Amino acid sequence: MNNPPSPAFSALPPEAVHTAIVVGAGPAGLFAAEQLSAARHDVLLCDHMAVPARKLLMAGKSGLNITHDEPEGVFLSRYGSSAPFMAAALKSFTPADLRSWAAGLGEESFSGTSGRVLIQSAKATPLLRAWRSRLEGQGVRFEGRRRLVALSPLPPNRPDGARLELLFEGPGGEPHLMLARTAILAMGGGSWARLGSDGRWTGLFKGHANAIAPFQPANCGFVPDWQPEDTARHEGDTLRGVELRSAGEQARGDIIITKAGWEGRPLYALTPQLRAQLSQPGPAPAKAVAHLDLRPNLTDKAVLERLQAQRPRESRSNRLRKALKLTSLERSLLALFAPDARTDTALAHAIKNLPVRFTATEPLDRAISTAGGLKWDQLDRNLMLRATPGLFACGEMLDWEAPTGGYLLQGCFSTAHHCAEGVKHWLQQTPPGETP
């Protein structure tokens, strides 16, 4: 990476050399700053937002799910194709470590019946308040409304130990040139821009397009293959306790019909599989197909028997309502996606295996998280950029994804911890005036 400031900005007098600058004040950046300052390193934390952790506060409005309680191997598998790269980070800072850390800030956690681990407080605010107090006590200085717009390496062996030159812009466009021995980028993904994760950091890698995997929606809703009047009729309705299957994976939960599309845990969990179908090349726009089980707690046989117990002269709608309590939405879906299912056997099969079609993901900015970001092959085992010694990265700006349920926050904390360990080693091996 070599994105030098313009000559006009390079003429600016830099501030004093900082030991470490952390760019991005979400969970990953805050935790990296905590780890470095706990080791008595001078840390400056910068973010283009005025206050830290806006997305964390939003996520914790109705209870903060910090991690998940399940066997280590199963947990690691939730990271899909990124699991081999995430393994070392998750080992360096485990779910048990995260729960212990939260307890140290006065927030005990509990594991729900689904395995989700939540903090006791109803909101994330008390945790963040205690966290910021700890950071301030450890000497971390926060500067908001500072957007990183350029970054370049400096020649080694400088007497002051500076290895990186970082150019920030203030809210009015005023430049701030800073020098650092090391820096950590923790600038988030590409969704929920109003809360800080706008993905504009990719511009720092201009001319290095192969370093970035394009952002894609993750844990997102999908647009169904139906008419606008269907959306108008069913907006606000919910498919409760259904199971969705795609590409050998399945997920159970509620699906909510919104003006933008279908949303809910089953779709979030199967986002990679459905997104892959939509990306298939072809002469016509690709569609994604998933199979919906409207009554996952009943066997195929039980569904068929309940249908056969109804009076034949009843209308199809009444028979479905009386036999299985199918809602208006569920009956509409059968009519739309299984119009030829007229016999009891065909209807029973459709109720358990309804092929629903989707034409697109919802927009990137509506997604809970994103796939894509800085590619793993750009980083060494300590999460330092191979092309820029002294520059590290962590959190959601790396190219990984995971389902909801605590895996996202755990991934941010774990990569931040692993990254901070790498930074501490780097600082130890590169005192001012020396190179590793």
pLDDT higher than 80, residue 425: yes
- Per-residue model confidence as pLDDT tens digits over 164-221: 999 999 999 999 999 999 999 999 999 999 999 999 999 999 888 899 999 999 999 9
Task: Note the pLDDT of residue 157.
Answer: 87
- Per-residue model confidence as pLDDT tens digits over 125-168: 999 999 999 999 999 999 999 999 999 999 988 999 999 999 99
Total-model pTM: 0.93
Task: Note the pLDDT of residue 434.
Answer: 56
Provide DSSP, 83-94: HHHHHHHHHHS-
- Which of 303, 329, 302, 301 is CA-nearest to residue 317? 329
pLDDT higher than 80, residue 16: no
CB 179 within 8 A of CB 17: yes
Q: How confident is the model at residue 230 (pLDDT cuts 50, 70, 90)?
A: very high
pLDDT higher than 70, residue 11: no
Q: How confident is the model at residue 23 (pLDDT cuts 50, 70, 90)?
A: very high
In the numeric block, the tokens 């030829």 are attached to 340
pLDDT higher than 90, residue 264: yes
Q: What domains are defined for the chain?
A: 7-216+370-429 (3.50.50.60), 222-361 (no CATH)
Q: How confident is the model at residue 312 (pLDDT cuts 50, 70, 90)?
A: confident
Rounded Cα gap, residues 335 and 69, in angstroms: 40
Task: Note the pLDDT of residue 44.
Answer: 98
Q: Is the CA virtual torsion 16, 20, 23, 29 positive or negative?
A: negative
Contacts of 154 (CB under 8 A, 6+ apart): 162, 163, 164, 165, 179
Q: What is the mean pLDDT of the chain?
A: 95
pLDDT higher than 50, residue 8: no
